[in-house]
Structure 1
């Protein structure tokens, strides 16, 4: 059946089933991938990478005014509704008295912006926030830069920085002059490319059992640096927490998605030991899938 998106944030624009008639009007190339399934529902093959890219292009054009969005072959293609939920939940984190701060003065650092540039797109067009996106991959940054420069509604809100030190996260990216309301991150979840590909193969098999796992694994897996780091997610998060101490007076809220629920408790304990004054774990739901992010601050007040 067509994918539905129950449990999304109330401000998320992607509630309910995809309106493929509307989306095809916004971006005609999507029409080549839309069909009527056995239940009489219009849908696409969500295990087909080209179809998913076409869907994203239509969603970004219809809801965020993005006319140009393309990815290099083999780079991570994100599910937009779930990414939007992270942005909206972070907006709640920044709100005071129910008022969400908007405008370019709200500066956000995206760790691992990727070629897709998805968080700066959603955040800038939803709230007018300005973004600095960083990445260790030069091709990702070049592609994100092309997306930002090709769409006039994005250009004023997005700047990009190359992280030349692949062993660092915030170091060499946050300058002495920087002040950020937020940092966001979708960290590498796996400890090796083999484990990442095995996980992707399981997802693909569930989506479409008629396709071979090997045929689509590489298309969905993303680049190694997008998915993997030594020690996996827990090692990356611990390093992020340690480095965040150095920039405690320049960032109001640090945050990161946490893929594995068992990693939450040790990270919270680590943060408490380092003197974090505020720690929040926020759950998000998309259908039966439950995700979460952890946010922490060393301040009792907002940095302006």
Structure 2
């Protein structure tokens, strides 16, 4: 659990649970656990049933909660959910709210996990909303099973709004905070292609239903709609929060809030191999960034690289032409790209390069030209005539035999040396890239096109990748060299 040390300081799961103890207390857990030759007890984390049993036993052991988790619904991972709750505690502390705290859980799910944890841990009151009928029914049963009806109230959301359906002119209900774990994906294809093959495989098995994982427009559009609705109800909820599953979406949302002057902060939730992010904003007087600054691993800030794109003949200052040309170059280089934001004179793309396809362009062109030249040179075909005396005599059984070298084996010495070195270098490059791709991509960055007056600026911001900022600079140089 490589990221456990970066969990919230108060998270009880910084120290992994004692599976041996759980197997002695809960027969259901003993049935899915197994011991290795050293006697250490473990479970199959890739088995959804095992994950379901583990979560149920931990909820009972650590929070005295009896929870039913349907087989076809998402299994909530407790370290992550607890990280979110503890961060909300920090936000409540800086707003000096300690008693009678009321929270709103958007999309509470079949487990109603956040209201249950908040109620038993902090005695918070909750309103939980849910749009799926089966999940709503199961959540109600979980609340009743734990006798928490006085603290938790669930409501069905049959509208397309996220929070607007809760408020009427006569209703004066106020919330100290809202929290949400929105669906990450916009469609099934995006869900299937969401994990880069360069990343390590997930430790846990896959759980969740389509309605829990997919929403129109994906996570980014959902969060943007929540921000839009929050402006209308800025006086009804003190602090708005949401979880964010993709780092590039967090960056875009932070830009949205900053551009509109909305006070905000964010957090990093680390657990196991998984990282998620929390985003909070308010329209009150609290400076959240100063009061609850982003916590987590110290990260080096990367200043973006900006340069002016040369004018293109007959289409000066054409934004669409520039975007089309950039996308064409990225396709040629086999660099994955996805438009994150497109508004006015700004377009932001998320780019991921898994292989070095931009280096040694001159050498590649020389090889291509040499191949084309060789193809144009006519080959000399010699037909052997037995009547012609053989200048090279090999006496085998008294017969003379003509030895003719095969054209494919005839190489120019200089070419052989050059090609051999290039082939060796190419193999070395490929092997190093392949080994790097097993852990992370070469370059992951934001590419932005910004139009200012009649000029178009290209801005590149490095995020991560084993090739470092130098790899991004090489991509930028390729774009400059091939722009016209």
**If the TM-score is normalised by the length of the shorter chain, which range does it land in?**
0.7 to 0.9
Q: Please give the alpha-carbon distance, in whole angstroms, between the structure 2 residues aligned to 1:233 and 1:120.
A: 22
For the aligned residue pairs, the C-alpha RMSD in angstroms reads: 2.6
Q: Please give the alpha-carbon distance, in whole angstroms, between the structure 1 residues aligned to 2:232 and 2:38.
A: 55
1:46-195 aligned at under 5 Å gives the runs 46-67=45-66, 69-96=67-94, 101-103=97-99, 105-152=100-147, 154-165=148-159, 167-175=160-168, 176-195=171-190
Residue of 205, 210, 229 corresponding to 1:224: 210
Tell me the CA shift for residue 301 of structure 1.
5.5
Q: Which runs of 5+ in 1 are unaligned?
A: 209-215
Q: Deviations over 1:203-229 (max 9, x none)?
A: 995448xxxxxxx7xxx3412121111
Q: Deviations over 1:22-53 (max 9, x none)?
A: 32344321110111246653111011111111
- Structure 2 counterpart SS, 1:61: helix
Tell me the CA shift for residue 287 of structure 1.
3.5
Q: Which runs of 5+ in 2 are unaligned?
A: 288-484
Residue of 284, 301, 308 corresponding to 1:299: 284
Q: Which has the higher contact order (CA 8 A, sep 6+)?
A: 1
- 8 Å Cα contact 1:3/1:18 also seen in 2: no
Alpha-carbon spacing, 1:273–1:53, altered in 2? closer, same or farther (3 Å): same
- 8 Å Cα contact 1:131/1:159 also seen in 2: yes
- Structure 2 counterpart SS, 1:181: strand
Q: Please give the alpha-carbon distance, in whole angstroms, between the structure 2 residues aligned to 1:43 and 1:85.
A: 23
Alpha-carbon spacing, 1:47–1:288, altered in 2? closer, same or farther (3 Å): closer
Q: Please give the alpha-carbon distance, in whole angstroms, between the structure 2 residues aligned to 1:199 and 1:40.
A: 37
Q: Deviations over 1:115-134 (max 9, x none)?
A: 01111111112211111110
Q: Please give the alpha-carbon distance, in whole angstroms, between the structure 1 residues aligned to 2:51 and 2:200.
A: 13
Provide the residue aligned with 2:268 in structure 1: 283
- Structure 1 counterpart SS, 2:46: coil
- Structure 1 counterpart SS, 2:59: helix
- Structure 1 counterpart SS, 2:13: coil
Count of matched residue positions in the alignment of Structure 1 and Structure 2:
284
- 8 Å Cα contact 2:162/2:226 also seen in 1: yes
Provide the residue aligned with 1:237 in structure 2: 223
Q: Deviations over 1:127-173 (max 9, x none)?
A: 11111110111111110100000112x332211011111x2101112
Provide the residue aligned with 1:213 in structure 2: none
- 8 Å Cα contact 1:253/1:297 also seen in 2: yes
Q: Please give the alpha-carbon distance, in whole angstroms, between the structure 1 residues aligned to 2:255 and 2:245.
A: 17
- 8 Å Cα contact 1:196/1:221 also seen in 2: no
Structure label with greater radius of gyration: 2
Q: Which 10-residue stretch deviates more, 80-89 or 267-276?
A: 267-276
TM-score by structure 1 length?
0.85
Q: Please give the alpha-carbon distance, in whole angstroms, between the structure 2 residues aligned to 1:6 and 1:46.
A: 20
Provide the residue aligned with 1:27 in structure 2: 26
- Structure 1 counterpart SS, 2:275: strand
TM-score by structure 2 length?
0.55
Provide the residue aligned with 1:13 in structure 2: 12
- Structure 1 counterpart SS, 2:15: coil
Query: Within the alignment, does 1:261 sit opposite 2:247 as a pair?
Result: yes
Tell me the CA shift for residue 73 of structure 1.
2.6
Q: Deviations over 1:248-301 (max 9, x none)?
A: 00101000011111112321232244442x200111221443321110001115
Q: Deviations over 1:222-249 (max 9, x none)?
A: 1212111122111111111001111100
- Structure 2 counterpart SS, 1:14: helix
- Structure 2 counterpart SS, 1:47: coil
Q: Please give the alpha-carbon distance, in whole angstroms, between the structure 1 residues aligned to 2:248 and 2:202.
A: 24
Q: Please give the alpha-carbon distance, in whole angstroms, between the structure 2 residues aligned to 1:296 and 1:135.
A: 23
